[in-house]
Amino acid sequence: MSNTDFVLAVEDLTVSFDGFKAIDALNLYVDKNELRVIIGPNGAGKTTLLDLICGKTRASAGSIKFKNGEMTKLPEYEIVRKGIGRKFQTPSIYENLSVFQNLEVSFPRGRGVFGALAFKRDDEVKTRVQAVAAEIGLAETLETEAGLLSHGQKQWLEIGMLLMQDPELLMLDEPIAGMSVRERELTADLLQRICKGRSVIVIEHDMDFVKRIAHKVTVMHQGKILAEGSMEQVQNDPKVVDVYLGH
Amino acid sequence: MTTFKHWLDRTGMGSVLLLALLLIVVFPLCLDLFRLNLVGKYLCYAFVALGLVMLWGYGGVLSLGQGVFFGLGGYGMAMFLKLEASDPVTTKIQSTPGIPDFMDWNQLTALPMWWEPFRSFPLTLLLVLVVPTLIAFVIGFAMFKRRVGGVYFAIITQAIALILTVLIIGQQGYTGGVNGMTDLKTLLGWDTRTNSAKYILYFVSVGLLLGSIVLCTWIQKSKLGTLLLAMRDKEDRVRFSGYDVSMFRVFAFCLAALLSAIGGAMFTLQVGFMSPSLVGIVPSIEMVIFAAVGGRMSLVGAVYGALLVNFGKTYFSESFPDLWLFLMAAMFIGVVLGFPEGLAGLYTNKVKPWWQRRMAARKAAPVTVAPKRAEPVATTEPGALPPGISSQQT
């Protein structure tokens, strides 16, 4: 495949677990500055797709190109350093550390063993932490132990940890799971702000939320793409109604 | 005075100073030379326990083969001392004078090539530090890159301890076999068996140990320490924040090996011999018990653990030789079940809050209003965070 303008180009991607094809010859292209939402029934392979892109699972066949660079053979930390950030489904933060420290640890400097030994908390780090904390609405709770945050705040903190790295592609797995209505609204606003200057892939089930944020929606089913397009197109697609949205 | 107290609180150096006072002043004044020499020997194990705090407590990786590195350090030093003790004049009755006696008994007629570097003291010191660290690097790199961890890592390190013991015993002509290396006498012409030498070696051990504690404290307070804890609890999050988790574990393993090797070398100097009985599975597990009893999250605690368990071992094995192993096993199980953070955890979680409540109650007592109840165990108090993370230095 020749080079493209896409930030992310996934082609003929296949992964099989003991013969079961969780992802089956899948193609997916994501533009710059695009906010893409992936929906689909349970077991459609949405999370597996993110796992493949970030290197957590290894592809059986196919290619994943990020800014025209092949990702399938790189170790996970290299993929992150190229500019792909991944948020997990359940909030994955360091509960014993303060909010400040959680963000600081994610700052992309001193990533080697000896770099980490020599790392100093200088003004650049502090400024960046404060900026990101303000973005995710945790500026007032910087000194709080992260384990004491509410569920929604933990989700935001993890998004903030990814923003510290300033990734070009951000992948969020069900970012509003377990959030209150108010928190969902704030998250939608946050996503709309942070997708400026970077591409974002979101996996989500909540259709109202999807409607609010999505530029383009991809529907997955049994490891394949069932439909792709604007929310309206997808919603009126009879195949999608059949397998996912229901009549 | 208050700034000094503040500094102690912030850095947690108070407990280190207390330990230094005990080791430098109290023990030498109160114990006779025989007992002090024993303490010196126990302190050698404390080096290993420090390494385990970094590797096991912080890194979350349990090694049951630290005796390997203790032994490698100890044997390196022993080889130098043995060569010095085997000069041609004292060994002239041998069929080949000038080589260690056990080589002569095993029909070796020349010193093996790989013994040659141990004729030089600076080179010996270098090898004592470098060889164990390098071996730890190779083992660690091979295992952690393949994501071998937990129980599997513990079993493999244990197997390595067994392999090294078998190797040492089997290669009698090169290693002294099951007897080990004995009759070590002088270090660069300085008799290490005299009383003054024993005092000096004791203080050298204490100095190195305190230095190691300071070094480890510095590492714990750096970003590397924070990352070790973070990857112990949320490995994937660290990995997907752009860190090569395996290399951090390799570092912790190498550090633990280096500390163990220093302990081994000081052991040889103070005790005057090195043998495979200090390398194998049983001593390696004992070293884990020292760290567990003292508290695997606390450097100072690990030193107390090594001292206490070894005192117990000496005392009980003198009085009830048959019972000792059972007692030690019971103590280990008791610690793991009863207070998993060891003595240090017992202090920070139970004794300290109790003392603070008492002091608070005493302060509040003269007031007519009923004394305020102390806050429920203050877990966020600085310097008192055994399970979690010490606050990083700014």
Task: Tell the burial category of A38 from Cβ atoms under 10 Å away from its Cβ (0-12, 13-18, 19+).
Answer: buried
> What is the per-residue pLDDT across B146-204, written as a single tens digit (0 to 9) for each?
999 889 999 999 999 999 999 999 998 899 889 889 888 888 888 888 888 899 999 99
Confidence of residue B386 (pLDDT cuts 50, 70, 90): very low
Confidence of residue B387 (pLDDT cuts 50, 70, 90): very low
> What is the per-residue pLDDT across A156-207, written as a single tens digit (0 to 9) for each?
999 999 999 999 999 999 998 888 999 999 999 999 888 888 999 999 988 8
Structurally, at CATH architecture level, domain A35-57+84-245 sits in 3-Layer(aba) Sandwich (3.40)
Contact B41, B271 (CB under 8 A): yes
Q: Which residues of A touch B297 (CB under 8 A)?
A: none
> What is the per-residue pLDDT across B218-276, written as a single tens digit (0 to 9) for each?
999 999 999 999 999 899 999 999 999 999 999 999 999 999 999 999 999 999 899 99
Confidence of residue B325 (pLDDT cuts 50, 70, 90): confident
What is the residue extent of each domain of chain B?
Answer: 33-279
Q: Which residues of A touch B244 (CB under 8 A)?
A: 75, 77, 111-112
- One-character DSSP codes across A109-141: S--SHHHHHH----HHHHHHHHHHHHHTT-GGG
User: What was the pLDDT predicted at B327?
Assistant: 83
Does the structure show a pLDDT above 90 at B366? no
Confidence of residue B1 (pLDDT cuts 50, 70, 90): low
User: What was the pLDDT predicted at B355?
Assistant: 86
CA A201, distance to chain mean position in Å, is: 5
Which tokens belong to A236? 């009126």
User: What was the pLDDT predicted at A177?
Assistant: 85
User: What was the pLDDT predicted at B205?
Assistant: 95
User: What was the pLDDT predicted at A178?
Assistant: 85
Residue A52 near chain B (CB below 8 Å): no
Complex ipTM value: 0.90
Which tokens belong to A139? 């500026």
User: What was the pLDDT predicted at A247?
Assistant: 58
User: What was the pLDDT predicted at A245?
Assistant: 74
| Cβ count within 10 A of residue B88 | 11
> What is the per-residue pLDDT across A224-241, written as a single tens digit (0 to 9) for each?
999 999 888 888 888 888
For B:238-257, CB contacts with A below 8 A are 238-245, 247-248, 250-251
Tokens 């006779």 identify what position? B32
Contact A81, A144 (CB under 8 A): no
A227 vs A224: CA distance, rounded Å: 9
Best interface-test mutation with B: which of A77, A81, A123 has the largest number of B CBs within 10 A?
A77
Task: Tell the burial category of B317 from Cβ atoms under 10 Å away from its Cβ (0-12, 13-18, 19+).
Answer: middle
Short-list B221, B213, B222, B225, CA closest to B57: B225
Contact B302, B263 (CB under 8 A): no
A199-203/A35-39 β-pairing: parallel
Short-list B304, B380, B389, CA closest to B346: B304
* pTM as predicted: 0.89
Does the structure show a pLDDT above 80 at A212? yes
| Nearest residue in chain A measured CA to CA from B232 | A94
**B49 to each of B70, B274, B379, how far by Cα in Å?**
11, 19, 26
- Which amino acid, one-letter code, is at B134? L
What is the residue extent of each domain of chain A?
Answer: 35-57+84-245
Tokens 């503040």 identify what position? B6
Q: Which residues of A touch B247 (CB under 8 A)?
A: 112-113
Confidence of residue B375 (pLDDT cuts 50, 70, 90): very low
Least CB–CB distance from A92: residue in B236, B251, B392: B236
Short-list B383, B388, B225, CA closest to A119: B225
Residues whose CB is less than 8 angstroms from the CB of residue B241 and which lie 6 or more positions away in sequence, other chains included: A80, A105, A106, A161, A165
Least CB–CB distance from B242: residue in A104, A111, A121: A111
User: What was the pLDDT predicted at B367?
Assistant: 52
Tokens 């991607």 identify what position? A13
Element (H, E) at A218: strand A216-221
> What is the per-residue pLDDT across B88-131, written as a single tens digit (0 to 9) for each?
888 888 888 888 889 988 888 888 999 999 999 999 999 999 99
Which tokens belong to A198? 């970077």
Residue B237 near chain A (CB below 8 Å): yes
Contact B235, B245 (CB under 8 A): yes
Least CB–CB distance from B222: residue in A76, A93, A116: A116
B270 vs B74: CA distance, rounded Å: 11
Mean pLDDT of B37-54: 94
Least CB–CB distance from A113: residue in B224, B237, B242: B224
Residue A113 near chain B (CB below 8 Å): yes
For A:173-232, CB contacts with B below 8 A are none
User: What was the pLDDT predicted at B381?
Assistant: 40
Strands of the A84-87 sheet, one edge to the other: A84-87, A169-173, A199-203, A35-39, A216-221, A224-229
Say whether A117 and B223 touch across the interface (CB within 8 A): yes
Say whether B244 and A85 touch across the interface (CB within 8 A): no
Backbone angles phi, psi at A8, to 5 degrees: -130, 125
Least CB–CB distance from B226: residue in A75, A81, A97: A97
Does the structure show a pLDDT above 60 at A106? yes
Best interface-test mutation with B: which of A86, A92, A93, A96 has the largest number of B CBs within 10 A?
A96
Tokens 């790295």 identify what position? A165
Short-list B178, B128, B134, B135, CA closest to B160: B135
User: What was the pLDDT predicted at A89?
Assistant: 86
Does the structure show a pLDDT above 70 at B384? no
